[in-house]
Amino acid sequence: MQDNWKIRSVYSLLLNRYGFLNWWPAETKDEVVIGTILTQNTSWSNVEKCIKNLKKKNICSLSAISSLDPKELAPIIRSSGFYNQKSKRLVDISHIITERYSTMEKMSEQPVDELELFLKNIKGVGRETMDSILSYALQKPVFVVDKYTMRIFSRTGITGDSTPIDAIKGLVYENLGNDGDMLRNLHAMLVYLGKDHCKTKPLCAECPVKSVCNYFITAGP
DNA sequence: CTCCCGTTGT
DNA sequence: ACAACGGGAG
C-alpha cells in the first residue's frame, strides 16, 4: 500500500470546486456504449450530433445498430471523425454484445472479471473504452484513466511522467477506495479540470488544485 | 511510430 | 487559414 496524500488532497479540492457530478450524458446503457466508441480521440461536442442523428432515426440502440450495414451508418456518425473505422467498430460491438448477452441489463449481472475478458477481445475496445463501459454502462467500480488523468496526475506529481495505467488505477483504489460512484465522480471531475484548466497550455490561475501541483509550484507560469 | 478525421477556437 | 483536441490498431 503506497500512501499518497496528494491524490486525496486533489480529490477533496476538486469536490470543493465541482461538487458531486452525476456524469456521462446518456439516457440509456446502450447510449453509453455507443458514446464510448464515438468519443475515441474526439471531443464530446462532435459526438452529440451523432447521438442526435441516431435518435432521430430511431436507431440509438445496440440491437438497431447491430443489423446495420457499416456503409449506411458511416455518414450518420460522420461528425465524430474516423467515421469509417468507428462505423465498423460500432456495428461489430453491437453485434457481439447483443449476441452474447442480449441486453446491457443482462450483461451487467456478470462479474467484472468475466466482462473484462469479454470486452478486451473486441476490436475497437481498448483500455479506456473497456473501463468506460464497465464503469458508466455496467455500473462496476472501475476507475477510468484517460489523457486528462495522465496529464493531471503527472503535472501535479501524484504519479511520474509515464506511470502505467494499472499503477494509476491501483493508486486510486488504495488511497480513495473503490466505491463506484466516487470513482465515476473523480473521473468526471478530472475531465472538467482538464477542459477548464489542465490543457496542453495550462491555465493555472484559477485552477482548484494549484496549491498542491508541482507544475504550478515549480515549473509553472 | 503512423494512420484514421471533423469541429471549434483563434 | 490553421492549430488544438482526443483512443486504438497495426
Q: What is the pLDDT of residues A205-215, one digit of tens each?
A: 999 999 999 99
CA of A146 and C1' of B1: distance in angstroms? 20
Residue–nucleotide distance: A127 CA to C7 C1' (Å): 9
Amino acid A221: pLDDT: 56
Task: Supply A91's cell numbers.
Answer: 456495428
Cβ neighbours, 10 Å, residue A201: 5
Mean pLDDT of A165-180: 96
What is the rounded average pLDDT of the residues A39-50? 95
What digits encode the pLDDT tens for the residues A106-129? 999 999 999 999 999 999 999 999
Protein A11 CA to nucleic acid B3 C1', in Å?
37
Separation between the CA of A126 and the C1’ of C7 (whole angstroms): 7
Predicted local confidence at residue A54, as pLDDT:
97
User: Nearest residue (Cα to C1') for C9?
Assistant: A124
CB proximity A118–strand B (7 Å threshold): no
What's the CA–C1' distance between A175 and B9, in Å?
38
Give CATH 1.10.340.30 domain extents, chain A: 29-137
| CATH 1.10.1670.10 residue ranges for chain A | 5-21+144-219
User: CA–C1' span, A129 to C8, in Å?
Assistant: 9
Share of chain A above pLDDT 90, in %: 93
For residue A190, give Cα distances in angstroms to A132, A134, A143, A172, A196. Answer: 14, 18, 11, 13, 10
Q: Residue A166: enclosing H or E segment and its boundaries?
A: helix A165-176
**DSSP code at position A26:** -
Please state, for a pLDDT cut of 70, what percent of chain A lies above it.
99
Strand B close to A44 by CB, under 7 A? no
Please say if the pLDDT value at position A48 is more than 60. yes
Q: So what's the pLDDT on residue A23?
A: 87
Average pLDDT over residues A9-18: 96
For the domain A29-137, what is the CATH code? 1.10.340.30
Instruction: pLDDT band for A161, please (50, 70, 90 cuts).
Output: confident
Task: Determine the Cα–Cα distance for residues A211 and A54; give it in Å rounded to an integer.
Answer: 44
* Cβ atoms within 10 Å, residue A120: 11
Range A5-21+144-219 has CATH code 1.10.1670.10: yes
Asked if residue A58 has pLDDT above 80, the reply is: yes
Nucleotide nearest A82 (Cα, C1'): B5
Assess whether pLDDT exceeds 90 at residue A5. Answer: yes
Closest nucleotide to A74, Cα to C1':
B5
Please report, rounded to whole angstroms, the spatial distance between the CA atom of protein residue A139 and the C1' atom of nucleotide C1. 45
Chain C nucleotides reached by a protein CB under 7 Å = 4-10
pLDDT recorded at residue A107: 98
In this predicted structure, the answer to whether residue A139 has a pLDDT above a threshold of 80 is yes
CB-to-strand C contacts below 7 angstroms: A 39-43, 46, 81-82, 85, 122-130, 146-148, 194-195, 199-201
- Nearest nt to the A44 alpha carbon by C1': C6
